[in-house]
Structure 1
Amino acid sequence: MVEIDLSRGLPESAPTSWLGTSKSRTHADLVRSLRGFAASDTTRGILVRLGMARLSFAGVQEVGRLLGAVRKAGKPVVCHADEYNNGTMLLAAAGCSKLWLSPAGQVDTVGIAAQLLFAKGLLDKLNISADYLQVGKFKGASEPFTRESASPEARASLQGALGGVRAAWIATIVEGRRSGDDKGLEAALENGPYSPAEAVELGLVDAIGDLGEARSDAEALAGVEQTVARFGGSGRDASVPRGLVDIYRSLSGASAVGEPHVTIVPAAGSIAMSSGASPLGGSDGIGERELGRVIARLANDKSTKAVVLRIDSPGGSALASDLLWKRLMKLREEKPLVVSIGGMAASGGYYLACAGTKILAEETSIIGSIGVVGGKLAVGHALASVGVHAETVAANPDPLRANRAAYMSMLTPWDDATRARVLTSIQSIYDLFLERIAAGRGVAVETISPSAEGRLFSGAQAKQRGLVDEMGGLDEAVRVALDLAKLPGGTPVEIERDDMSFLDMLAASDVDEDDSGDAHRGVDALQTHARRVVVDALASAWLVPLPELGTFVGSFAPLLSGERALAALPFAVVLR
């Protein structure tokens, strides 16, 4: 009996420590572990430990489907949770033959909704001017700063996408549970929370008991006497490469493979020029410099025969998105590039995704938000209200030219002429965005336009519009990559990790003076690492209970670094 522990979450990418990237319970790791369980003679059954985990919809949909394959092979798959929520119920219903719930737990299937935050009233009270412009009437990216509520277009776009996700959520759970009362179960899914006894009566779960009882039941169903933890533990790489840095890297989970293989590259979080550029810090995020370095290396790696880019991003910097798109298109010229969309590929996230040879997504993925926003917050009036006056002294005495010279300043708002110039610039970036999508998808811009202007779609809706090619998760994306690269089914699959450890930074900075490029890279990496440590310590405590706020602020962070155009999702949408 194999035990899979998802109680501590299932992130798309692994966190980085000072030793490098640690072995982690990532989505790609789990998919790779689950691939062979259905056909394995040694795996007699699976116990899934969910605890009170909060997991993304797209992730649990694929995991549930893979567990369902084990279940269809005649092997028991038993789930235990202290609490089932919208996401973990989706996983358990699709993949598990028996659902256990703790006696003091509950089932929180309550339906799907999004709550939007609007700060215009606060900004008005603080006398802060919000200068934001957008291209795309459904984009809505400026609305949290410029409106008290959602515009009809933004609301309709979000509601339509959530409606598609809801339909897939209900259909998957009803089909998986096979309760005999589909209508009753469908109604119950949006009327929780339920006590354990109510959940059993409604057919949402099968048994009530603690983890030990569920484990004993799973062992009895599988006809075994022992359960072995295969995921969620703290295993170590048995190989011992030479060199101090390689030894520590092996302890932290990295490996090198010289034989032909497919490489999975996780790309999760907001997009910036550098993953250390966000004021929120942390190793989460897609940095043009970091991901670009990985893409360039894989393009030249003869043993990497195909690449699967796993995207879960609300977007961010338009500049970084375009630079990465060009790198990905060059990679695509060398070998197949298959994109697997996780929770979302919105705005800049889809900017990257459209470079794929093939694009796959789950029905519950959020896709689209093709548009551009730009702007700034001007605090001059706020400072004036407390006695601080800002005055602009420009080299050109013409007032129009003086305002233009200070257009990047947060002390003064834009005048009408500057606003018009900024809008022209943003429009050109939007036009480029459409051209990039058209080139990546191999269609005319006119084909893309009806799905642009900031509209949001579920994965199924995106497929109907030609924004994705197939429905499926990471496992299906790997199969497509193997097929495109004409590789056999048993070809190894490697997971790319951010292996720029603290020791690597030291090694990069300890070089000869004539190797200035590597020296600067090492110094930059050390500075970035130092910023992450300090900012993480200050910011993480208040962001833990507000992950949606962290996601939203992260995608808008490039504005604080001087950029004026974003390809970012207008709202923080986290489906659980």
Structure 2
Amino acid sequence: MKQFFKFVLATIVGLIFAGIILVLILIGIVASASGDKNVTVESNSVLNISIDHPITERTPNNPLAGLSFLGFDTDKSIGLNDILANIKKAKTDDNIKGIYLSESYMLSGQATTEEIRKALIDFKKSGKFIVAYGEIYTQSFYYLASVADKVYINPKGMFDFSGFSSQITFLKGTLDKLGIEAQVIKVGTYKSAVEPFILTKMSDANREQVTSYMGSLYDYFLTGIANSRHLNVDTLKDIANNMKIQYPEDALKYKLVDGLKYKDEILDDLKDRTGISHKKDVKSVSIDDYTKSEGDKKDDEGSSDRRVAIIYASGEIGGGDGDDNSIGSDKISAAIRKVRLDNKVKAVVLRVNSPGGSSIASAVIWREVMLTKKVKPVIVSMGDYAASGGYYISCAADSIIAEPNTITGSIGIFSILPNMQKFFNDKLGVTFDGVKTGKFSDLGDISRPLSPEEHLILQNQVNRGYDEFTKAVADGRHKTQAYINSIGQGRVWTGTQALKLGLVDRLGNINDAITCAAKKANVKDYKLVAYPEQKSIFSKFGSGLSTEMKTRAIQSELGENFKYYEQVKGLQSMMRNPQARMPYNIVIK
């Protein structure tokens, strides 16, 4: 027994010692990573932009990014804020002679791509060059690359230019086989988020709205390319409709690219453009590393007595604190309250990139926006999505600015409650029995179907939620509730369509929103301050880091199929409370 206790004690001491060593090593790595603050940009350099990860609104606060430690790899990830800031900085950086736009997989929405594209167009005003090259051109990457002075493709590469498509996965057949009934309570003819659970194909209303907004997105996509490449929109439609581009030489023939070149030829071209000998390497700095370089005075270094706050609300909306990729009503509401009570903050930009979520959480955030608008200007900048709950939290603002290809609207409410009685009884042989003190004590029990009275209770709750939603929009947009109802009903719109309908005030990007906010507050010299505060790597230890590691592992294993995992996971929240969310996410490849 004595030997046993000695062994246990030695094990405990060893674990404690190992833990201390691990923490010290990690602190050293973090200190080392954090200490590498400045990157020197050599003269005659090229800014290399290559994006192969989903673009978040803000660069994650992770000093370990790009490092591999104890088998846990942390990929580099740069947010839209730093991408735009770096392109703007490069415009006036004498050491940067041009931009090399290399093959990128734009895994984010079209509005994000649009923001970067506009920044590149602005960069060209400096007279510096942009050269694009890729072995594989997806449609989203080509849309970005089309602004370049020269667009090249590898002679053996692939070029996709076939038009947009939208596909929905329907689960009703699966649910029928399992004996599960999706009991749907909703308001909105076009609120199609519930359709995959109750239909086997798109409803006529959903097909109508998808055809409409996909057409709007596609027209804007083609118009942008046509303007950059000096081509006709109808010509581009004909090329796509008839699949005229199947090989790289076809892309050259129809003037979508300027040449077929191998990588070594591109490097020689960059050397010629920057005055470097062909015997030497191209001087380049990546878009990630350029963040650490010294440059001109940043916009956020203005007067500390006059501030414009940017509140980032990104991801699905729910209760609690959320995280960097989701909107927690407690955390976002606290951030809005904080800037409302801060006398140094003269105006607020609410950056919304959300397909929606909990209608209750959305209403909580809306309340804080409305209160803040009473004391200082609030401008909403819409990203890829600001739909359903994402529009709910936006509608109280003084002004709403969206990109033409932002997905917005979807003003509607729904709730789903599964009836799993047949599944339990017939498939598993499980039955239930119990006692209750009231007629509706077990309302929401998934082991049985809803009674007509219970269904009516839930329908009335959803109806009330929709009435409050449309009233909030009507008040915020200075429209009648009847009008909002007519363009609501869960229908999805693009930013271009929303402008015509009066759901947004103008088309533009986040910089336009910042300028608008400062103007309304009548401030010129100001400091930009971002909220809510991002969590450090240390605050993620424990359950937070464990959850992140688990998510990364699943995402790595599933690849592009990770979106289906997220959809199934999202069902849990849909079944807890009424939802104000987009029917699906949209990614153009």
TM band (smaller chain): 0.7 to 0.9
User: Structure 1: 5+ residue runs without aligned partners?
Assistant: 239-253, 277-281, 507-525
Paired residues of 1:543 and 1:549 also in contact (CA < 8 A): no
Superposed counterparts of 1:54-69, under 5 Å: 54-69=107-122
Name the CA distance, whole Å, in 1 between partners of 2:423 and 2:233. 57
Q: Which is further off, 21-30 or 477-486?
A: 21-30
- TM-score after normalising by structure 1: 0.83
Paired residues of 1:13 and 1:268 also in contact (CA < 8 A): no
Name 1:501's counterpart in structure 2: 536
User: Structure 2: 5+ residue runs without aligned partners?
Assistant: 1-44, 66-73, 295-299
Paired residues of 2:86 and 2:291 also in contact (CA < 8 A): no
Name the CA distance, whole Å, in 1 between partners of 2:519 and 2:76. 29
The alpha-carbon deviation at position 145 of structure 1 amounts to 0.4
Instruction: Kindly indicate whether structure 1 or structure 2 has the higher relative contact order, using CA contacts under 8 Å at least 6 residues apart.
Output: 1
Name 1:30's counterpart in structure 2: 83
Name 1:365's counterpart in structure 2: 406
Q: Which is further off, 101-110 or 211-220?
A: 211-220
The alpha-carbon deviation at position 87 of structure 1 amounts to 1.3
Paired residues of 2:356 and 2:580 also in contact (CA < 8 A): yes
Name the CA distance, whole Å, in 1 between partners of 2:240 and 2:396. 38
Aligned residue among 123, 127, 144 for 1:91: 144
Superposed counterparts of 1:432-443, under 5 Å: 432-443=468-479
Q: Give the 3 Å change call, closer, same or farther, for CA 186–41 of structure 1 in structure 2.
A: farther
Paired residues of 2:244 and 2:250 also in contact (CA < 8 A): no
- Are 1:337 and 2:378 an aligned pair? yes
One-letter amino acid of the structure 2 residue matched with residue 85 of structure 1: T
Name 1:6's counterpart in structure 2: 50
The alpha-carbon deviation at position 211 of structure 1 amounts to 4.6
Paired residues of 2:321 and 2:331 also in contact (CA < 8 A): yes
Q: Deviations over 1:291-319 (max 9, x none)?
A: 22322222233443332222221111111
Name 2:238's counterpart in structure 1: 187
The alpha-carbon deviation at position 335 of structure 1 amounts to 2.6
The alpha-carbon deviation at position 264 of structure 1 amounts to 2.8
Paired residues of 1:80 and 1:100 also in contact (CA < 8 A): yes
The alpha-carbon deviation at position 451 of structure 1 amounts to 1.2
Name the CA distance, whole Å, in 2 between partners of 1:431 and 1:335. 27
Paired residues of 1:14 and 1:497 also in contact (CA < 8 A): no
Name 1:305's counterpart in structure 2: 346
Name 1:484's counterpart in structure 2: 520
Name the CA distance, whole Å, in 2 between partners of 1:29 and 1:164. 29
The alpha-carbon deviation at position 148 of structure 1 amounts to 0.9
State the secondary structure of the residue aligned to 1:171.
helix
Q: Which is further off, 298-307 or 119-128?
A: 298-307
RMSD of aligned alpha carbons: 3.1
One-letter amino acid of the structure 2 residue matched with residue 344 of structure 1: Y
Superposed counterparts of 1:370-519, under 5 Å: 370-396=411-437, 402=439, 404-488=440-524, 491-496=526-531, 498-501=533-536, 503-504=538-539
The alpha-carbon deviation at position 156 of structure 1 amounts to 0.6
Name the CA distance, whole Å, in 1 between partners of 2:48 and 2:353. 23
Superposed counterparts of 1:157-176, under 5 Å: 157-176=209-228
The alpha-carbon deviation at position 423 of structure 1 amounts to 0.3
Q: Which is further off, 146-155 or 202-211?
A: 202-211
Paired residues of 1:46 and 1:218 also in contact (CA < 8 A): no
Name the CA distance, whole Å, in 1 between partners of 2:245 and 2:441. 57
One-letter amino acid of the structure 2 residue matched with residue 139 of structure 1: K
One-letter amino acid of the structure 2 residue matched with residue 12 of structure 1: E
One-letter amino acid of the structure 2 residue matched with residue 229 of structure 1: V
User: Number of paired residues?
Assistant: 526
- TM-score after normalising by structure 2: 0.81
The alpha-carbon deviation at position 132 of structure 1 amounts to 1.0
Q: Deviations over 1:516-552 (max 9, x none)?
A: xxxxxxxxxx65x266247526643455322543554
Name 1:202's counterpart in structure 2: 254
The alpha-carbon deviation at position 174 of structure 1 amounts to 0.7
Q: Give the 3 Å change call, closer, same or farther, for CA 309–213 of structure 1 in structure 2.
A: farther
Q: Deviations over 1:344-397 (max 9, x none)?
A: 11111111121322111111111111100012122232121234333242334x
Name the CA distance, whole Å, in 2 between partners of 1:461 and 1:297. 34
Name 2:32's counterpart in structure 1: none
Name 1:246's counterpart in structure 2: none
The alpha-carbon deviation at position 119 of structure 1 amounts to 0.5
Name the CA distance, whole Å, in 1 between partners of 2:91 and 2:157. 30
- Are 1:111 and 2:154 an aligned pair? no
Paired residues of 2:314 and 2:324 also in contact (CA < 8 A): no
Larger radius of gyration: 2
Q: Which is further off, 411-420 or 167-176?
A: 411-420
